[in-house]
Structures are given as C-alpha cells and as structure tokens.
C-alpha cells in the first residue's frame, strides 16, 4: 500500500487539536483544587476545600441556583412549544409555510447582542422590571428554534404507517399521540431538551441585557473577572462539565452498541 | 443543521405525505409562533424606534422620547467606525482560521472513523466537550495562560522571541485566538454532518478515473461538503461579529481591541445611551441579513434549517 497522508499526519493533527481544545478545560479543573485566598491566579497548593465548601462563596451558589431555575423553566416551555411546531412542520400542509420557516431560522442567524438589546429595549418601552421573569422569557425565545430543528429531524424519520395502524385499531387521535407518536419522538424531544438546557445554562450575552440585578452563573463569572474569579466558580464549572460529559458519553455508547447490533 | 449531528447517525427520513388538516396545524403552530412574534419580532420594532429616539428635555440620564433622530446613526458611525470595522475583520479572519482548523477534524471523524462507531462517538464528544464548561471560564483560563508573567510569556522572553516589555493579552492576536478557540465546535459539527453523508463510492470513482487525491478532494469531496461549510461559516461569523466577551478588557482584549458588541454593551448597560446602542444593533443586524441572503443565494442552500 502506498503512503497516504491520512495515515499518520491526519490522526496526529486531530490528536493535537483535541489536546488544544482540552487545555482551558483542564486548567479550570486543576485550579478548582487551588488553595487560593482571594484571587485564583497563582498555584498555591492542592486542597479539597473549594469542592467541599462550594457555598463558602455565597454569591457563586446563588448565581448557580438562579441559572438552574432559569434553564429548567426555559427548557420546559421551549421544548413543549418547539415540539408542537416541529410536528406541524413535518406533518401538515398550511399557508405561510415559508414565512414560518423564515421566522424560525432568524433567531439562529441573529447575533445575541442584537436579540438581547432588542428585547431589553422592548422591556424598557413596556416598563417591565428586569429580573428572573424577563430572563426566562428571553431564554425560552432563543432556545425555541434549536428545539424545533432537533425535534423536526426526529419527526421526519417517523413512519406514518405506525400511526395509521393505531387508527385502524380504533385508537382515537389522543391515544394515537400518547401511545405511538410521543414514545417514538421521545429520544428527539429529550435531545432537544438537553440542548436547550445547555444553551440556556451557558448563555451570557442575552442574559446580561435582560437580567437587571439578577445574577446567573455566567454573569457572576463575567463580573468577577475584573477582580479575579474565585476557585468556587471553577468547582461549579468543572462539576457541570463532568455531569454533562457523563450523560453524553452514556448516550453515545448506548447508540453505538445499538448500531453494532444492527450491523450484525 | 449543526446540532442534529449530536444525536449520532439518525435513521433515514421517511417519505411523508403532509396531511391537509388546517385547524390542527394552526393549533400546533399558534402558541410557539405567537411567542416568537411577541418576544423575537416585535423587539426589532422597539430596537428601531429606540434608535430614533431623542433625549428628553428634562436631561435625566437614560430618559429618551420617541422621535425621528437619524443623527443617532451618523453619530454611531463616526464615533465607532474603528470598532465596527474591527468587528467584521476579526469575524472574517477568525472564521477563515476556524474553517482551516476544523475541516480536517470533521473529515477524520466522518470519513476515517466512519465504521468505528465507538471511536466516532468518542471523538464527537471531544468536539462538543468545550460546550459543557462555561464559555467565560474557558476564555478566562486562556487569559491566565497568556497573562504577563505566565510560563508562556516568560519562556518566549527567555528565548528572545519576545522583548522585555512584550505581552499577549490585549493584542489582536489574543482576541482572534480566543474567538477561533470558542468557535471550533460550531464549525466542525456542520461540516461533519455533511461529510458524514458523503458517499465514499463517489470518491472511489474519482480515483478509478485517474484523478489524484487532491483533484478528487477539490472536485468531489469539498463540493459535497459545501452545505456544511456554509452553515459552519455562518454559525461562526454571525456570533463572532456580535461577541464582546473575548474582546473585553477583563478577558483577552485591551483598549485597542473593542468590537461592536463591546460598544453596544457599554452604551446600553453602562452609560444608558440607548439610542446609540440601538442604532449600532440595527446596523449590525442589517449587515448580517445582507450577508446571509447574499451567501445563501450564491450557494443555493435554501434549506438552512
């Protein structure tokens, strides 16, 4: 076999790039164990204290709690609304289809700072007080299109014959939906919900424009950056990372096992 | 789109004849679409109206009246032209670099690891791994790594590459570096999902017809991955043009690296000059809309969603 570029060069390049991608993650993780006093810049020795006493910095914990409340609420609303839209887009014919697609695409193509400033200008004109409610409204808005895109892909793989079979067996439309359609869509809906949660949890720009005095975790980090981020913030970042990676790895391994079984 | 790739290899789509039941469709669409109308579309009206407001005669900071002050736009452009130009040039440079860095990764995962589902899943997880740790923490980590008395800067000084008073943080290099880093996954995933669908028999056919690997890539592989390249570049360019975290002075930027987002943030949230901030946002959005429609028309990819 002749020498091919992909044999050594490409795998080496890919390995090095992944190493590069991992550097700041590793850095954040390592410095979550730093025995820091005020600022967490210089390595002063290993300690478990930051992990055992995360809420030693009360603001970090409060901000983290707010982020969870916002992400859970926004995910619930946008997953329900987005799934309904996705089903309508694949299954039904209706007027203004192009307009609907355009309106759903636009939030994906709008810089966050524009969405953030626009919504903040509207809240200002309406005289609404910025806080928890406005942040949840904003997050539901920008995660909705991501839910539609993700669920739509799943609806498109659904065989309508299965639902027809249900109807032939005298199931009413509600039964058909809950007994057939919904269970088959569930993996797509769960994937969409996880994506919405991740996007909401990590959002900073739209949040900063619409949160008023409310602190979320990313907003806390941004404000703290001027004087140095406390190690407790690294603990929370690393903890979230470990949980998320565990979930994703479990899903990936499960689907690859399934694929291997199908291949046999 | 990009994030569909996360679900692994999806089963084939089934041919579905859309049923004609108008009322059900309406009931399914109405709540979500009204939500977007109220909290995504009408804010643009507020944004445009705010960009035309004039200061209230009372002179209270942050209080403005509805008006038709086109001068806000002229003021925004003359005052902030360097930041406007910097936004678009940083976004362009960072997008091109991100494309060059990401394409080989996407190619490796989609083509070389095609028949190894476990490896493929692991590599995809590694690509998205940075998403799971706060973007701000990651950017701040780079700040520490490149800070003035960091190991890297000191080594460069010892080697004589850097002068005694050289620094990295606050330079254009640092900001573009941080932007590229943050957006590599956004570029890699859509290219991956295009290459994942690439029929390798077409590549073999090219080789059978005596095309060398470079020609095969240029004539077959790359054109077929173009939809992914297009959504990847849009998913990178658009957020970067409005980003203000990386270029912020508290992160990788300095006084000379401010972008449009930094100016909008400062005007809207700090000095409460809502009209100028809104005028800049309207101009940014107009530029993005022009860019996206030109880009999409030229490459003929209408199904972005």
DSSP assignment string, chain A: ----HHHHHHHHHHHHHHHHHHHHHHHHHHGGGB--SS---S---B-SHHHHTGGGSHHHHHHHHHHHHHHHHHHHHHHHHHHHHHHHHHHB--TTHHHHHHHHHGGGGS-HHHHHHHHHHHHHHHTPPPSHHHHHHHHHHHHHHHHHHHHHHHHTT--HHHHHHHHHTT--HHHHIIIIIHHHHHHHHHHHHHHHHHHHHH--HHHHHH-TT---HHHHHHHHTTT---HHHHHHHHHHHHHHHHHHHHHHHHHHHHHHHHH-
CA distances from A84 to A5, A91, A167, B41 (A): 48, 11, 20, 20
Q: Is residue B243 part of a domain?
A: yes
* Confidence at B2, pLDDT banded by 50, 70, 90: very low
Residue where the block lists tokens 């919405």 = A196
CA distances from A261 to A157, A165, A183, A264 (A): 20, 27, 22, 5
Find, in chain B, the residue whose alpha carbon is nearest to that of A156: B13
CB-hemisphere CA count at 13 Å for A62? 8
* Confidence at B121, pLDDT banded by 50, 70, 90: confident
* pLDDT tens readout for residues A138-151: 999 999 999 999 99
Nearest by CB to residue A25, choosing from B3, B130, B234, is: B130
Q: How far apart are CA A31 and CA B266, in angstroms?
A: 31
Contacts of A41 in chain B (CB under 8 A): 144, 147
Tokens (6 digits) for A206: 């739209």
Q: Is residue B143 part of a domain?
A: yes
Chain B interface, best mutation among A12, A60, A108, A118, by max B CB count within 10 A? A118
Report percent pLDDT > 90 for chain B.
60
Q: Which of A242, A243, A241, A221 is nearest to A233 (CA)?
A: A221
At residue A219, the pLDDT reads 96
At residue A1, the pLDDT reads 44
What would you report as the CA-atom Rg of chain A, rounded to the nearest whole angstrom?
23
- Look at B33 and A82 and tell me if their CB atoms are within 8 Å: no
- Look at A256 and B24 and tell me if their CB atoms are within 8 Å: no
At residue A82, the pLDDT reads 97
Asked if B43 has any chain A CB less than 8 Å from its own CB, the reply is yes
Q: How far apart are CA B143 and CA A173, in angstroms?
A: 57
Find, in chain A, the residue whose alpha carbon is nearest to that of B31: A81
Q: Is residue B197 part of a domain?
A: yes
Q: Which of B187, B242, B5, B28 is nearest to A248 (CA)?
A: B5
Q: Is residue B210 part of a domain?
A: yes
User: Between A182-202 and A231-263, two packed helices, what is the crossing angle to 10 degrees?
Assistant: 150
- Look at A157 and B10 and tell me if their CB atoms are within 8 Å: yes
Q: Which of A192, A157, A263 is nearest to B11 (CA)?
A: A157
At residue B1, the pLDDT reads 35
Asked if B20 has any chain A CB less than 8 Å from its own CB, the reply is yes
At residue B277, the pLDDT reads 97
Q: How far apart are CA A43 and CA A35, in angstroms?
A: 7
Nearest by CB to residue B134, choosing from A160, A188, A218, is: A218
pLDDT at B8 over 70: no
Q: How far apart are CA B305 and CA B303, in angstroms?
A: 5
* Confidence at B295, pLDDT banded by 50, 70, 90: confident
Tokens (6 digits) for B99: 């494309």
Q: How far apart are CA B148 and CA B92, in angstroms?
A: 28
More confident residue, A71 or A51: A71
Tokens (6 digits) for A234: 């690294």
Q: How far apart are CA B77 and CA B83, in angstroms?
A: 9
Residues B50 and A125 sit within 8 Å (Cβ to Cβ) = yes
Q: Is residue B272 part of a domain?
A: yes
Contacts of A225 (CB under 8 A, 6+ apart): B136, B140, B143, B248, B250, B251
- Look at A93 and B20 and tell me if their CB atoms are within 8 Å: yes
Total of domains in chain B? 1
B44 alpha carbon, distance to own chain's centre: 20
At residue B6, the pLDDT reads 40
pLDDT at A110 over 60: yes
Asked if A127 has any chain B CB less than 8 Å from its own CB, the reply is no
The values of phi and psi at residue B55, to 5°, are: -60, 145
Chain B interface, best mutation among A114, A210, A212, A231, by max B CB count within 10 A? A114
- Look at A113 and B264 and tell me if their CB atoms are within 8 Å: yes
* Chain A: closest CA distance from residue B162 (Å): 22
- Look at A122 and B264 and tell me if their CB atoms are within 8 Å: no
- Look at B29 and A229 and tell me if their CB atoms are within 8 Å: no
At residue A251, the pLDDT reads 82
Least confident window among A29-43, A120-134, A198-212, B7-21: B7-21
At residue A56, the pLDDT reads 80
* Confidence at A92, pLDDT banded by 50, 70, 90: confident
The values of phi and psi at residue A81, to 5°, are: -60, -40
Asked if A184 has any chain B CB less than 8 Å from its own CB, the reply is no
pLDDT at A6 over 60: no
pLDDT at B301 over 70: no
* Chain B: closest CA distance from residue A227 (Å): 9
- Look at B136 and A111 and tell me if their CB atoms are within 8 Å: no
Nearest by CB to residue A118, choosing from B11, B14, B43, is: B43
* Chain B: closest CA distance from residue A97 (Å): 11
- Look at A117 and B277 and tell me if their CB atoms are within 8 Å: yes
Residues B206 and B216 sit within 8 Å (Cβ to Cβ) = yes
For B72-99, what is the mean pLDDT?
A: 97
* Confidence at B212, pLDDT banded by 50, 70, 90: confident
**CATH code (residue B121):** 1.10.3720.10
Least confident window among A69-73, A99-103, A114-118: A99-103
Contacts of B9 in chain A (CB under 8 A): 259
At residue B84, the pLDDT reads 96
Report percent pLDDT > 90 for chain A.
59
- Look at B245 and A204 and tell me if their CB atoms are within 8 Å: yes
Nearest by CB to residue B33, choosing from A10, A100, A152, is: A100
At residue B13, the pLDDT reads 62
Find, in chain A, the residue whose alpha carbon is nearest to that of B278: A117
Asked if A212 has any chain B CB less than 8 Å from its own CB, the reply is no
* Confidence at B287, pLDDT banded by 50, 70, 90: very high
* Confidence at A4, pLDDT banded by 50, 70, 90: low
- Look at A113 and B260 and tell me if their CB atoms are within 8 Å: yes
DSSP state of B19: B
Chain A interface, best mutation among B101, B134, B187, B212, by max A CB count within 10 A? B134
* Confidence at B185, pLDDT banded by 50, 70, 90: very high
Domains, chain A, in order of start with CATH, read 58-229 (1.10.3720.10)
CB-hemisphere CA count at 13 Å for B127? 32
Q: Is residue B282 part of a domain?
A: yes
Contacts of A259 in chain B (CB under 8 A): 8-9, 117
Q: How far apart are CA A125 and CA B274, in angstroms?
A: 11
ipTM of the complex: 0.90
Q: Is residue B249 part of a domain?
A: yes
Tokens (6 digits) for A252: 């990936």
At residue B4, the pLDDT reads 37
Nearest by CB to residue A245, choosing from B50, B125, B264, is: B125
Average pLDDT of chain A is 90
* Confidence at A249, pLDDT banded by 50, 70, 90: confident
Residues B228 and B193 sit within 8 Å (Cβ to Cβ) = yes
Tokens (6 digits) for A81: 């609304």
* Confidence at B5, pLDDT banded by 50, 70, 90: very low
* Range of the structural domain that residue B197 is part of: 71-299
Largest CA distance in chain B: 79
* Confidence at A259, pLDDT banded by 50, 70, 90: confident
Q: How far apart are CA B206 and CA B220, in angstroms?
A: 8
* SS3 of residue B243 by DSSP: coil
Q: Is residue B45 part of a domain?
A: no
pLDDT at B106 over 90: yes
At residue B83, the pLDDT reads 96
């Amino acid at each position: 076999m002749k020498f091919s570029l992909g044999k050594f060069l490409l795998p080496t390049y890919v390995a090095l790039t992944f190493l590069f991608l991992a550097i700041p993650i590793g850095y954040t993780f390592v410095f979550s164990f730093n025995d820091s006093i005020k600022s967490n810049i210089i390595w002063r020795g290993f300690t478990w204290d930051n992990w055992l006493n995360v809420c030693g910095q009360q603001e970090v914990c409060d901000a983290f709690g707010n982020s969870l409340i916002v992400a859970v609420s926004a995910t619930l609303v946008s997953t329900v609304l987005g799934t309904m839209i996705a089903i309508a887009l694949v299954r039904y014919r209706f007027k203004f289809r192009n307009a609907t697609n355009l309106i759903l695409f636009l939030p994906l193509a709008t810089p966050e700072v524009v969405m953030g400033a626009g919504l903040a200008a509207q809240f200002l004109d309406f005289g609404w007080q910025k806080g928890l409610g406005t942040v949840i409204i904003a997050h539901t808005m920008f995660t909705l299109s991501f839910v539609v895109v993700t669920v739509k892909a799943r609806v498109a793989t659904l065989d309508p014959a299965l639902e027809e079979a249900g109807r032939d067996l005298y199931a009413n439309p509600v039964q058909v939906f809950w007994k057939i359609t919904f269970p088959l869509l569930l993996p797509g809906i769960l994937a969409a919900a996880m994506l919405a949660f991740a996007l909401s949890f990590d959002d900073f720009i739209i949040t900063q424009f619409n949160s008023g005095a409310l602190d979320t975790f990313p907003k806390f980090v941004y404000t703290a950056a001027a004087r140095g981020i406390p190690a407790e913030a690294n603990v929370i970042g690393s903890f979230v990372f470990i949980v998320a990676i565990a979930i994703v790895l479990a899903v990936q391994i499960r689907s690859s096992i399934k694929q291997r079984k199908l291949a046999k | 789109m990009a994030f569909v790739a996360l679900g692994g290899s999806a089963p084939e789509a089934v041919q579905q004849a859309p049923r004609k039941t108008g009322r059900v469709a309406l009931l399914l669409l109405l709540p979500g679409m009204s939500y977007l109308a109220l909290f995504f579309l009408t804010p643009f009206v507020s944004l445009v109206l705010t960009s035309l407001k004039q200061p209230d005669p009372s002179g209270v900071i942050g209080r403005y009246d509805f008006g038709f002050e086109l001068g806000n736009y002229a003021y925004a452009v003359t005052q902030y032209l360097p930041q406007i130009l910097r936004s678009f040039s940083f976004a362009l440079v960072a997008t091109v670099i991100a494309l060059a860095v990401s394409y080989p990764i996407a190619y490796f995962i989609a083509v070389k690891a095609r028949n190894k589902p476990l490896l493929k899943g692991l590599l995809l997880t590694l690509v998205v791994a940075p998403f799971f740790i706060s973007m701000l923490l990651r950017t701040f980590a780079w700040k520490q790594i490149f800070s003035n008395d960091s190991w890297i800067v000191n080594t460069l000084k010892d080697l004589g590459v850097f002068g005694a008073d050289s620094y990295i943080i606050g330079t254009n290099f640092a900001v573009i570096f941080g932007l590229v880093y943050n957006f590599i996954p956004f570029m890699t995933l859509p290219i991956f999902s295009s290459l994942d669908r690439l029929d390798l028999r077409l590549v073999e056919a090219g080789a059978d017809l005596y095309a060398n690997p470079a020609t095969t890539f240029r004539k077959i592989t790359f054109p077929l991955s173009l939809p992914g390249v297009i959504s990847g570049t849009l998913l990178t360019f658009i957020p970067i043009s409005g980003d203000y975290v990386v270029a912020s002075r508290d992160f990788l930027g300095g006084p000379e690296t401010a972008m449009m987002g930094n100016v909008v943030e400062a005007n809207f949230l700090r000095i409460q000059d809502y009209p100028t901030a809104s005028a800049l946002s309207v101009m940014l959005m107009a530029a993005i809309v022009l860019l996206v429609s030109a880009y999409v028309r030229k490459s003929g990819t209408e199904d972005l969603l």
